[in-house]
Each structure stands twice: as structure tokens, then as C-alpha cells.
């Protein structure tokens, strides 16, 4: 079974429908075929200067949502990045073989630092991709599911692995991008040509996993559509209606063509009502289960501790090998 690693940042108290369909449901099925490790990358989230109380709450909430969606801790290691110190230790070593110019060419850094200005840009934001490389290389992950926005960072990870291996001898597995079979990309309900995003969508444009069903139904009722009144899938001409159809189809398993026939001659009100039912039918239980998990923080923390033990065992071994190869004297 190929080893696979993935994670999300705890940058919000709730994941959204895009995270659920684009990542979580995929993670759950990948457990069948892969030796998977799923982490909450809390150290990465420090790059957005979160409030400490919010960070603590969001880290547990993110882990709880992984579990509620079906990540099974008896099969996959579920852990918080900060519980495995080797991430930071390997990141330092890798930063010493990363070119300053090479890191400066990362487009995510260029975009974010341009927005924040030189004074608002931290060194952490600059070295973020090096920490991400450490996350991956510690576990000999053969495959890493990455969205388009992380592709360049994975390329850097591959380059660092190859560079290290060339200089110090075979050490790291060079990871491949895992290309998912066609996951639903979910668009913003208010701006259906932009992707639904934790940080750039307006609250009305996002379906949050932790929203009450009535709130979700209201957001879907107010989703932007068009004026021609025909329920038909056409991303270019009808992005709003197409988004609703794609969401329905991904969650209900009904083919889009069958949905078009079922809604022939009916209005957008009917479509929205049914989409809301399908969405709340799926997310409602996930939200409830998340609440139950959060109501018992001791059990949740025990699951995270167990995941960290498994992760530390693998990561510690890799780090020891690295320290030895680069010439650090090992303690007795």
C-alpha cells in the first residue's frame, strides 16, 4: 500500500462543502487503498497570525471534522503537526539546502507578500513551502493529493528530495502528485465563477459544514443563478445553476443528465429546495458527529495522541537518518 500524506490548515472553525467534497470524501476512500496519514497543519496556520484561543479551538474542530467525515483513526494516523517536532527540525535542515531565490519564486509567496507588503510579510510565510516539504518527506510519502494551488510547492519538495539524495545518498522518497479521479470543484454560491474558499468567499457564498441546516438552506435559496429559468448544466453560460447541479450530483450520486430530466419544466426554486435537502442530509450528520466529538475533548485528544505516536515513530526514524547523513553527531 503506497504511503500517502495530506493535511489542511486550521484557518477556520468550520470546513466548507468544497473541502468536504474536494478533499475529505477523497481521504476517506483513499484509506481503502493507501497507508494514509492525515494531519492538521497547525504550525502552517501560524503564518496568518491567528488569535491563540481561536487557533486552539480550530485545531481540535478541524480534527473532529476529519473524523466525523469518516477518517478512521484505527487505519489512518490522525495528528496535529505540532505534536511531531521532527517537522520543524527537518524544515531547518531543508531550509539550508533551499536557495533564497528558489523560495522567492514561489507564486503563493509572491501573491501573499504583495498583498501584505514587506513589513507585514513574515519569514514564516517565506519558508512555508520548506515546512511543507518536511511534512511530506518525513513519511516517505509516495503520493500527495494536492490542489492546483499547491503544485509548485510539491515541485519544490521533489527538487529538495532529489538534491538531498544526490548530495548525501539515497534518503528520501521523491513524492508524486496524486491526481484524484475527478472530484467536484465547488464554487462560491454568490460568485459562481470563483471557487468556494475559507478565506476569500463571503459568508453567504460558503456552505460551512458546521452551519445549522436552516442557515445552509437559506444560503442555497439565495444562491446566484440566471434569468433564463431552465435547469441545464452549462458552466460557461450558467455557472450558478451548474454549480447547484454539480453539488447535487456529487452528494446524491445522481448523474447530471438525470437531474436535468428530473427538473425539466420546473423552476430554480424547486432545484434549490432539493439541493438544500441533499446538502443538509449529508452535512447534518457530519456536523452532529463533530459536535459530539468536541463535547468529549479527552477522547479526541487521546485519538490525536495515538496518531502522534504513530507519526513520531516514522518521522523520528527519518530525522535520525537525515541528521546522521549530514554529519551531526548523534547523542548516545
Residues in touch with ligand ATP (CB under 6 A): 8-9, 11, 18-19, 21-23, 147, 185-186, 195-200
Q: List Cβ neighbours of 200 (8 Å cut-off, separation of 6 or more).
A: 194
Considering the complex, state which of residue 18 and residue 73 has its C-beta at the smaller distance from ligand ATP: 18
Considering the complex, state which of residue 194 and residue 264 has its C-beta at the smaller distance from ligand ATP: 194
Considering the complex, state which of residue 185 and residue 235 has its C-beta at the smaller distance from ligand ATP: 185
Residue nearest to ligand ATP (CB): 22
- Has 10 been labeled as part of a binding site? yes
Considering the complex, state which of residue 199 and residue 227 has its C-beta at the smaller distance from ligand ATP: 199
Considering the complex, state which of residue 150 and residue 171 has its C-beta at the smaller distance from ligand ATP: 150
d(CA 3, CA 22): 20
- Has 149 been labeled as part of a binding site? yes
Q: Is 195 a catalytic residue?
A: yes
Helix, coil or strand: residue 52: helix
Please give the helix or strand (H or E) that residue 5 lies within, else none.
strand 3-8
Q: Kindly state the smallest distance separating residue 93's Cβ from ligand ATP, in Å.
A: 26
- In the numeric block, the cell 462543502 is attached to 17
Q: Kindly state the smallest distance separating residue 296's Cβ from ligand ATP, in Å.
A: 25
- In the chain, the N- to C-terminal Cα span, in Å, equals 34
Q: Is 112 a catalytic residue?
A: yes
The one catalytic residue among 185, 195, 273, 321: 195
Q: List Cβ neighbours of 211 (8 Å cut-off, separation of 6 or more).
A: 14, 219, 283, 287
- Has 9 been labeled as part of a binding site? yes
Paired sense of beta strands 35-40 and 3-8, if any = parallel
Provide the grid cell at 115.
498583498
Q: Kindly state the smallest distance separating residue 92's Cβ from ligand ATP, in Å.
A: 25
HEC letters along 74-131: CCCEEEEHHHCCHHHHHHHHHHCCCCHHHHHCCHHHHHHHHHHHHHHCCHHHHHHHHH
- Has 186 been labeled as part of a binding site? yes
Q: Is 238 a catalytic residue?
A: no
d(CA 14, CA 16): 6
Q: What is the radius of gyration, based on Cα positions, of the chain?
A: 21
- Provide the H-helix boundaries in the chain: 17-19, 25-30, 42-45, 52-69, 86-95, 100-104, 107-120, 123-137, 151-168, 213-221, 239-252, 256-262, 268-295, 297-326
Q: Kindly state the smallest distance separating residue 239's Cβ from ligand ATP, in Å.
A: 13
- b or e along 9-27 (b: 16 or more beta carbons within 10 Å of the residue's beta carbon)? bbbbbbbbbbbbbbbbbbb
Considering the complex, state which of residue 196 and residue 286 has its C-beta at the smaller distance from ligand ATP: 196
Return binding residues for ATP. 9-11, 18-19, 147-149, 186
Return binding residues for L-tryptophan. 135
Q: Show which residues are catalytic.
A: 112, 195, 198
Return binding residues. 9-11, 18-19, 135, 147-149, 186
Amino acid at each position: 500500500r503506497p504511503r500517502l500524506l495530506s493535511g489542511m490548515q486550521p484557518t477556520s472553525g468550520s470546513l466548507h462543502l468544497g473541502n468536504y467534497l474536494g478533499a475529505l470524501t477523497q481521504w476517506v476512500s483513499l484509506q481503502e487503498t493507501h497507508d494514509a496519514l492525515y494531519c492538521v497543519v497547525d504550525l502552517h496556520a501560524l503564518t496568518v497570525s491567528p488569535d491563540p484561543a481561536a487557533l486552539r479551538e480550530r485545531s481540535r474542530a478541524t480534527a473532529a471534522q476529519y473524523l466525523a467525515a469518516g477518517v478512521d483513526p484505527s487505519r489512518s494516523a490522525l495528528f496535529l503537526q505540532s505534536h511531531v517536532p521532527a517537522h520543524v527540525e527537518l524544515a531547518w535542515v531543508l531550509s539550508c539546502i533551499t536557495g533564497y531565490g528558489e523560495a522567492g519564486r514561489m507564486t503563493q509567496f509572491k501573491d501573499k507578500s504583495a498583498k501584505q507588503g514587506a513589513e507585514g510579510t513574515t519569514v514564516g510565510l517565506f519558508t512555508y513551502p520548506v515546512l511543507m516539504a518536511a511534512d511530506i518527506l518525513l513519511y516517505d510519502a509516495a503520493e500527495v493529493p494536492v490542489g492546483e494551488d499547491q503544485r509548485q510547492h510539491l515541485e519544490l519538495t521533489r527538487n529538495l528530495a532529489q538534491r538531498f539524495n544526490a548530495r548525501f545518498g539515497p534518503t528520501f522518497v521523491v513524492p508524486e502528485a496524486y491526481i484524484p479521479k475527478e472530484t467536484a470543484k465547488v464554487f462560491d454560491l454568490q460568485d459562481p465563477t470563483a471557487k468556494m474558499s475559507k478565506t476569500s468567499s463571503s459568508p453567504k457564498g460558503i456552505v460551512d459544514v458546521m452551519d445549522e441546516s436552516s442557515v445552509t438552506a437559506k444560503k442555497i435559496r439565495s444562491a446566484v443563478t440566471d434569468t433564463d429559468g431552465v435547469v441545464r448544466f452549462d458552466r460557461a453560460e450558467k455557472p450558478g445553476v451548474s454549480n447547484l447541479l454539480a453539488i447535487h450530483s456529487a452528494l446524491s450520486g445522481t448523474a447530471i443528465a438525470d437531474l436535468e430530466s428530473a427538473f425539466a419544466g420546473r423552476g430554480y426554486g424547486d432545484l434549490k429546495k432539493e439541493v438544500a435537502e441533499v446538502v443538509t442530509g449529508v452535512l447534518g450528520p457530519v456536523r452532529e458527529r463533530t459536535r459530539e466529538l468536541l463535547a468529549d475533548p479527552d477522547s479526541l485528544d487521546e485519538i490525536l495522541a495515538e496518531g502522534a505516536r504513530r507519526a513520531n515513530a516514522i518521522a523520528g526514524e527519518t530525522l535520525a537518518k537525515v541528521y546522521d547523513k549530514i554529519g551531526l553527531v548523534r547523542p548516545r
